[in-house]
A and B are shown apart, each in its own frame.
Chain A
């Protein structure tokens, strides 16, 4: 017998709820203030320059946009691959992906030199530009996932769920391909210009998106005082292991490919050994904190608890930010090669490693993106029934929990004997 999952809005009237919403609102306000400052003064007040043209706002924006695509994983698994356990988790997954994309795009757009001309980006297109395609992919994502969410939550359209879910899954794969290609298509720069960027961004999106999803669901169920079973969390742990491993694998392949070609030795030496902060961020931030350590936690039999899962997921988010930072800013810090094999020098920093130190407004803008994601989710779960009333094991997977109960009963019996 199949049990209907009961979804409902959260009450959202506690002091804690309003205080938290106010806190995120303040962060968003600060980000808008930072934007105003940067746009009013011009970008010279940021750490960005004619050498490092994309800075910390882009790190946050790209991270959030990539994670947005991955956050849809859970919903895809439920609707496309018809895994029953994930059904209850799907609406929040879709909501999270919409919120993450909104946050990422907001940061990206607010950093433009002329954000007042955003309308131009909607009316004037160059279709050879992957950026122009992305504008369609991003806006289309809102439409596609929006419809998918509706179909999921409205019992009248239950028959369209698989179709809508499949379409949304294809769309988000395209979206991340587009985002990865922003860098993959840059023939001029040593650190980019690699076809592997697109698939690597897809696998990055899986890891970041799922990690954020885990953090959000734990935070939300904790905050709303709704029961969340270990089974749900642990199932996603297994998936997360695969994704984090895959990110490490793609990173390995990316660097090995580059290391094979002598012309790329310079940039590889820079990122892997001599790049100062970028080297530290790569090895310590991305590889150790964001890869090996969470893998160890996820595989360790003693760490099969919710707290450890949350720690692992947080590390993956941190490592992801480091990874995107190294890709975007580390990739630009290595100078353009005008004359291969030659030493060059000029008044415009030719041949020098470019220095970048982000300013406070940039960082505030980036954090504002995260705050916007949080605020959207808080408001959305208050006004629409995104969350199942209970994610206790017996509600999600009665069969599994029955087995577990039997096992525990057996253990108890054994212990008492």
Chain B
């Protein structure tokens, strides 16, 4: 236990040092570049870049336990729900995002929050994937390359968040931007098909349109972004932060 902790501290210290060094270099060599490059400026044709770290801040205090707008939005956008022509099979039907209700048995305090792929900086699913089908884009989005996924499900064993689903049957009528197929593993894509064109994820959009505004999406690396300012100002938490994976999804009020 102690050795684990020390390891993490050393690692964090090393990262801080390297980060500081990188920042100094950037500051001294190209002061203009970082100011000009705004993360939101990615055009559809541009390649994504390491400058960005896409993330989300979810305020559980604004998240109603009855509300499933984000889940519905994701299902509509990506098409993962139970098909209309058959009964639900809850054990094997995919769930890219779900509402989790938490109760503290000692105090009876409760809260509710959406949980999906947490887009970790050090994703365990990417570590264990034998073929490299699980991968992390340079901007921090964790995806599955279904062209080389062999369906071994080791990533599902490794994910601490139960964020991934295995496609247990033939799929038809997929959305053009969300290919899904039997025998491969899938999860939240952080709506990269929208984000790459300068948009925001469907769940965040639906939550905001309904006036709840519990979800905030943006570039954690851009100090000018709303999300970066928010996480700097308020206390936020990551789920299972003890694992040291540094998820890109942060929560308030949990």
A interface residues with partner B (beta carbon < 8 Å):
39, 41-44, 49-51, 53-54, 112-115, 117-118, 120-121, 124-126, 128-132, 134-135, 182, 185-189, 261, 332, 336-339, 341-350
Contacts and interface: CB of A to CB of B under 8 A. Distances in A.
A125 B157 CA distance: 19
B130 A135 contact: yes
A347 B95 contact: yes
Nearest to A336: B162
Interface in B148-205: 148-154, 156-162, 164-170, 182-185
A4 to B, nearest CB: 46
B4 to A, nearest CB: 10
Interface of B: 1, 89-95, 98-106, 115, 124, 126-133, 148-154, 156-162, 164-170, 182-185, 239-240, 243, 254
B183 A42 contact: yes
Given A113-B185, A345-B100, A261 B167 contact: no
A49 B243 contact: no
Contacts, number: 170
A49 B156 CA distance: 11
B131 A132 contact: yes
Majority DSSP secondary structure for residues of A touching B = loop
A114 B157 contact: no
B159 A188 contact: yes
Contacts of A39: 183
Given A50-B165, A342-B105, A125 B130 contact: yes
The prevalent SS among residues of B at the interface is loop
Given A50-B156, A53-B156, A348 B162 contact: yes
A129 B151 contact: no
Contact of B89 (A44, A338, A344): A44
B151 A350 contact: no
A128 B127 contact: yes
B169 A42 contact: yes
A339 B239 CA distance: 7
B151 A344 contact: no
What 7 pairs across the A-B complex have the smallest Cβ distances?
A113-B151, A113-B183, A188-B160, A42-B169, A131-B130, A49-B91, A44-B168
B151 A332 contact: no
Contacts of B162: 50, 336, 338, 348, 350
B132 A125 contact: yes
A125 B239 CA distance: 30
Given A187-B158, A349-B90, 11 more contacts: A42-B169, A53-B153, A113-B151, A114-B151, A124-B148, A186-B158, A261-B1, A338-B115, A338-B240, A341-B105, A347-B95
B103 A343 contact: yes
22 contacts: A43-B168, A50-B93, A50-B165, A53-B157, A112-B183, A114-B149, A117-B150, A117-B151, A120-B131, A120-B150, A121-B130, A125-B130, A128-B127, A130-B128, A131-B130, A131-B154, A186-B124, A188-B158, A338-B100, A338-B239, A341-B106, A347-B90
Nearest to B94: A50
Contacts of B164: 50
A39 B151 CA distance: 11
A128 B134 CA distance: 12
Given A54-B157, A126-B129, A113 B169 contact: no
Nearest to A182: B154
B130 A129 contact: yes
Nearest to B130: A131
Nearest to A261: B1
B127 A344 contact: no
B132 A112 contact: no
B170 A42 contact: yes
A113 B131 contact: no
Contacts of A49: 91-92, 168
